[in-house]
Amino acid sequence: MKFEKVIKMLIVSSYSPRECGIATFSNDIVNAVEIVFGETLPVEVCALQNSDQNFSYNAEVTYILPVDSLEHYRLVAEKINERNDIGLVCIQHEFGLFRGDYGDYILSFILALNKPIVTVFHTVLPNPDEKRKKIVHAIADLSDKIIVLTKNSETILIRDYELPKMKTIVIPHGNHTVLWEQKEELKNKYDFSNKIVMSTFGLINKNKGIETVLRALPEIVKKHPEVIYLVIGKTHPEIICCEGEKYRDILTGIVHELRLENNVIFINEYLQLWQLLEYLTVSDIYLFSSKDPNQAVSGTFAYAMSCGCAVISTPIPHAVESLVNGNGILLNGFDQPEEFEKAILHLIENKAERIAMGKNAFSLAHATTWENIAIQYRLLFDQLTNREEDLKFNFPPIKLDHIKKLTTDFGILQFSKFSQPDPESGYTLDDNARALINMILYNQAFPDNKTLKLASIYLNFIEGIQRNNGWFDNYKSFDHQLTKQNGEVNLEDANGRALWSLGTVIAHRESVPTDMIVRAEKCWNNAIKRIDDIKSPRAIAYALKGLYHYYSAHKKESIKQKIEKFADELLRHYNINSAENWCWYEDYMTYANNVLPEAMMYSYLVTKNPKYKKIAAITFDFLLSHYFMKGQIKVISNRGWFKKENERVFYGEQPIEVATTIIALDLFYEVTKNKKYKDQLKLAFIWFLGNNHLKQIMYNPENGASYDGLEDKHININQGAESTLCYFKARLIMEKYAVN
């Protein structure tokens, strides 16, 4: 079913600037949906507020529901019913948000609504009395789907409230993306470089159990006076109304009593998001001391894990689910200072274990970034409004941040640990050739001297790794020395990529400084002497791309002849290895497969030989038939190549294969104008944006990097040069397809 106009989602919730955890939660969802889906899924908000409250909201708030007026629940619902552009109403439910017995006023709203409804239960209490059970049952019966934030909450709903499992779905609490390397940078910024920083944050109330941590600190600071404990957050506004700062005064009294003034810092503010994330990022240890055993979920807990903190927590359900396999320390009970003392001392005195816990938590948190949570909400929205075919993603902005971070004065480094460049990985010609091509193309689209400076660095690396005889090595260490890998690994692919990159520079003489053209041509002229040493099909294909680009600038007959010679060699491989059900150049498919038919098409463009074009199309379509299935791209796995006689292995997908598919599709569409190639190109790119089997983004929204691999159950969130450069090239190509 297709809709001619855009259908919206309406979120019913407390909302920023109201100081409330669920208000922040809903604001984060609205922002994430806008980032990931843009105008294809507009979100409006119906803000919940008490009669004595009056907030100034952003434009997305189009309705206000006074929660203490039963009549208004029906009136607001009727106004929403009049809107034919609202396709789904998403209610953020917490018993305390609504008035009546156990917040049963909300039933008047739901009963009056004539729209599909999803209700998000933030609190699910076990062992309910009959009144609570009936209200929850009524909400569930009137909702099309119930969202819970943990598996434990789902279990309680099924076991204690007797809800059918098919009614519920688990969509976890979201978190924000931060960069691992910022931990040390921010410690310097806040002058905490020589400190062990611990923190707790959130709206302060007595259920936080902060006094438990304070009672644990005296023995800790005796042994480790460098410990700093940050208590971040204002007192909860509703607590202020009832009892003022009574609880905070108790906490400051304990600090004075235990003489902890030099070790405990109260940050009595409702912080902006960036400030909060910075405080959490500098924290070595996060302390979650809640005294409520029924607290289903905690946004503060989720944020701390995503910032790479080693977490010590009381056993609330969220912590029990999350603190597994070395992600933190789960305490046995509540309100037990001695347990906190023991756990904190253990992590302070075992730095390697503490860092490992933080890294494990950081890795685990990727699956629940707000962008990934937005995808889950969108998929549910499409399902309930019969709009699955209308799924569209917003293109992220092009960012050079990670490429710049990986680049030294010598070249681009090969690997990263998370987003932190790894100098020990050294440099490769492969990556510097890719980087050079990217910067030349980026500069053509967005001219900038800083981009050309990067291009010059990569060209300099290529010049420096060329032997006197014209052949190229591939590997250099961080101290600029050739490594033994150059004698152990076939270098043909790297030499082919070098020719491709040099040809790209030469072809862009109108947008590249003359001195770079001169350098590239000198390097090319030396390399072309050895081109006949390239024998493997993939290396030949890379070289053909270089020859094509060079020929676009210099129409030399000798270059055309080399193109014909190499194209005929690929044709020979095709004739040897192809069969009735195997239209390919080799008896297996490995990596960067698309470059082979792409090179054949480039050969046709120079020679106009129709057999090159015919084989290019046959082999490319054969490859695409194995890549596109059920509305997604699934490329060849790095776990096992796809051999002619064997079954294919799935999972273990890498960005290089998706990106080279996009590069080839772009060429084939330009040449043939066949719409199927444009459609497949767009489908391939949204693999990066979440249209993959994990429904998770494959790019880092903070720095423009790409993650290294899509596995069967997780994403490898290291961000190496190859993955990032391949994604960058794909994203640059998509600029042409952003509108049409």
Block means of pLDDT (10 residues each) for the chain, 740 residues, are 71 94 95 95 96 91 95 96 96 94 95 97 94 96 96 95 96 95 92 94 89 96 96 84 86 95 92 91 95 83 93 91 88 94 97 95 94 96 86 93 98 97 98 98 96 98 97 98 94 97 97 97 97 96 98 97 98 94 89 94 98 98 91 77 64 91 98 96 96 95 96 95 98 86
Q: How far apart are CA 334 and CA 322, in angstroms?
A: 17
Number of CB atoms found within 10 A of residue 125's CB: 18
Buried b (16+ CB within 10 A) or exposed e, 364-382: bbbbbbbbbbbbbbbbbbb
* Nearest CA-CA partner of 29 in 72, 96, 92, 102: 92
Residues forming a β-bridge with 198 = 229, 285
How far is residue 86's CA from residue 60's CA, in Å, rounded to a whole number? 13
Q: Do domains 8-170 and 182-368 have the same CATH topology?
A: yes
Cβ atoms < 10 Å from Cβ of 541: 28
Q: What is the model's pLDDT at position 697? A: 97
User: 3-class SS at 111?
Assistant: helix
Number of Cβ within 10 Å of residue 571's Cβ equals 17
Q: CA separation (Å) from 29 to 35, 90, 414?
A: 10, 11, 35
- Residues paired with residue 10 on neighbouring β-strands, in sequence order: 44, 89
Considering the segment(s) 8-170 as one domain, its CATH architecture is: 3-Layer(aba) Sandwich (3.40)
How much is the pLDDT for 569? Answer: 98
Cβ 696 vs Cβ 367: under 8 Å: yes
Q: Supply 598's token pair.
A: 């792409």
Q: What does the alpha-carbon distance between residue 150 and residue 532 come to, in Å, rounded to a whole number?
A: 61
Reference 627, options 671, 670, 597; nearest CA is 597
Global confidence as pTM: 0.93
Give the gyration radius of the chain's Cα atoms: 29
Structural tokens at position 154: 């789902």
**Domain covering 182-368, topology:** Rossmann fold (3.40.50)
CA 621/CA 546 separation, integer angstroms: 23
pLDDT at 706: 98
CB 326 within 8 A of CB 356: yes
Taking every pair of C-alpha atoms in the chain, what is the biggest distance, in angstroms? 89
End-to-end CA distance of the chain, in Å? 22
Q: Please name which of 584, 594, 586, 603 lies closest in space to residue 543, comparing C-alpha atoms.
A: 603
Q: Where are the domains of the chain?
A: 8-170, 182-368, 401-737
Backbone φ/ψ region at 631: left (φ over 0), alpha (ψ -120 to 50), beta: left
CA-to-CA dists, residue 625 to 264, 341, 632, 664, angstroms: 62, 60, 12, 14
CA dist., res. 687 & res. 704, Å (int):
15
Q: Which of 453, 444, 449, 448 is nearest to 407 (CA)?
A: 453
Of the candidates 298, 310, 319, the one whose C-alpha atom is nearest the C-alpha of residue 174 is 298
Token pair recorded at residue 601: 């098409």
Contacts from 710-715 at CB under 8 Å and sequence distance 24+?
710/651, 710/652, 710/653, 710/654, 711/651, 711/652, 712/650, 712/651, 712/652, 714/363, 714/367, 715/366, 715/367
Rounded to an integer, what is the distance from CA 380 to the centroid of its chain? 20
- 671-680: which pairs have CB atoms within 8 A and are 24 or more residues apart? 671/601, 671/604, 671/605, 671/613, 672/617, 678/737, 680/624, 680/628, 680/633
CA angle 733, 739, 740 (to 5 degrees): 90
Whole-angstrom distance, CA of residue 334 vs CA of residue 596: 63
pLDDT at 3: 42
Euclidean distance between CA atoms 288 and 304, whole angstroms: 9
Question: What is the domain class of 401-737 according to CATH?
Answer: mainly alpha
Determine phi and psi for 413, rounding to 5 degrees: -70, 155
Bridging pattern class, strands 168-170 and 628-629? unpaired
